[in-house]
Amino acid sequence: MVTAEPPQKAVEVLKTTETKSVEAPEAAPTGETMISVRNMDFNYGTKRALHGINMEIPSRQVTAFIGPSGCGKSTLLRCFNRINDRIAGAHISGGQVVIKGKNIYDADVDTTQLRRQVGMVFQKYNPFPKSIYENVVYGLRINGVKKKSELDEACEYALKAAALWDECKDRLKANAFGLSGGQMQRLCIARAVAVKPDVLLMDEPCSALDPIATLKVEELIVDLKKDYTVVIVTHNMQQARRVAELTAFMYLGELIEFAETDQIFGNPQQKKTEDYVRGQFS
């Protein structure tokens, strides 16, 4: 599983992609490895949360992580943009996470640069108590973009990408808290998309939404893979089947099986996977 891929010209890649154009991010050919996890161990203090994870996540596809609560799927997702660094004592204790050819846990990696390219959408929709417009352009503003035209363009692009433009274009200045739950979550997706990341991480993006809003977000996720590599953590196996090309089943901090979604649900190779997808334990 471990494909040795020397992290060549990684720094240049990180630098050159810091572009502020409005087109969708530069295409990496579909299916090429975007994130490569190599023999990774992860600890919360002395407690090991992830054991020897190995996986290759292809670009411009949707990859789903499933598994029972506490299996480490969110932890793994949060390793990809190093948001776990915030937690005291949390650290990677072995192996590598290579994104676009660069181990993101190298000392010379700037986490702010990393997170601009690896965006994240959280479980609980959490727009800022600001206008819809200000929410979407937040990421651009912290990058120092001041030009009104540039912000406007990015706002329109992101809202369109998040299928929210038609609903919101007449009330961009309205407070985001006036939106419904589903709209708020799509706004959060727009906010993440506005900075044009290469990867979009989604941590149970639909768990706080009703079924109809969930469907809309799922449609959006399928749509987004045209331009983005999407990795989604979900509790809902049906959701994984609906949106993901690849599915990873995790259990007790280990990656049990990682394969095409149809195989995981139709013809799992591991006993544990089979038990889980058949609903024999949760």
Partner 1 sequence: MHAPANSALLENPFAKRRSHRETYEFLVKSVLRGATYVILFATAAIFLHIIVKGSPILFQAKAPFINTEFLTKLPETLHVLEDKQGHIYKTDPKGADAIKHQLGDNLRQEKTISYSGGGILGPIVGTFLLVLVCIVVALFLGISSAIYLSEYAKPGKFIEWVRLAILNLAGVPSVVFGLFGLGVFVLAAPVFTNTPMDRALLVIPLGFTQMSFQGWDTSVLSGAFTLAFVILPVIITASEECLRAVPMGFRETSLALGATRWQTIWRSVLPFAMPGILTSSILGIARAAGETAPIMFTAALAFKDKLPWQGEAGLGGVFTESVQALPYHIYTLAARIPQNEYSERAQYGSVFVFLVLVMTLATASVLLRRKLRAKYKW
Q: Which residues bind partner 1 (CB under 8 A)?
A: 81, 83, 86, 88, 112-116, 119-120, 122, 124, 126, 128-129, 138-139, 141-143, 177, 188, 191-192, 195
Length of the chain: 282
In the complex, minimum distance from the CB of residue 183 to partner 1, in angstroms, rounded to a whole number: 16
**Rounded to the nearest 5 degrees, what angle is found at the Cα of 200, between the Cα atoms of 172 and 205?**
70
**In angstroms, how far is CA 176 from the centroid of its own chain?**
22
Residue 31 C-beta: closest distance to partner 1, Å: 26
Residue closer to partner 1, measured from CB, 112 or 149: 112
Minimum distance from CB of 161 to partner 1 (Å)?
Answer: 15
- Give the residue with the Cβ less far from partner 1, 53 or 192: 192
Q: Where are the alpha helices (DSSP H) in the chain?
A: 10-16, 73-79, 111-117, 132-142, 148-161, 165-168, 181-193, 211-224, 237-243, 261-266, 271-277
Name which of 129 and 279 has its Cβ closer to partner 1.
Answer: 129
**Nearest distance, CB of residue 116 and partner 1, angstroms:** 4
132/264 with CB nearer partner 1: 132
SS3 4: coil
Q: Which is nearer to partner 1, 118 or 256 (CB)?
A: 118
CA atoms of 158 and 193, how far apart (whole Å) = 6
Closest CA to 83 of 129, 35, 118: 118
CB of 193 to partner 1, least distance (A): 11
Rounded CA separation 10/99 (Å): 9
Whichever of 65 and 265 has its CB closer to partner 1, that residue is 65
List Cβ neighbours of 163 (8 Å cut-off, separation of 6 or more).
Answer: 186, 216, 219, 220, 223
- Strand partners for 269: none
Cβ nearer to partner 1, comparing 139 with 268: 139
List, in sequence order, every residue forming a beta bridge with 258; answer none if it has no partner: 248
Report the nearest approach of partner 1 to the CB of residue 163 (Å). Answer: 20
In angstroms, give the least distance from the CB of 141 to partner 1.
8
Please give the distance of CA 51 from its chain centroid, rounded to a whole number: 21
Q: Report residue 106 as tokens.
A: 């190298």
Comparing CB distances to partner 1, the nearer of 135 and 214 is: 135
Q: How many CA atoms lie within 13 A of 175 on its CB side?
A: 4
CB of 140 to partner 1, least distance (A): 9
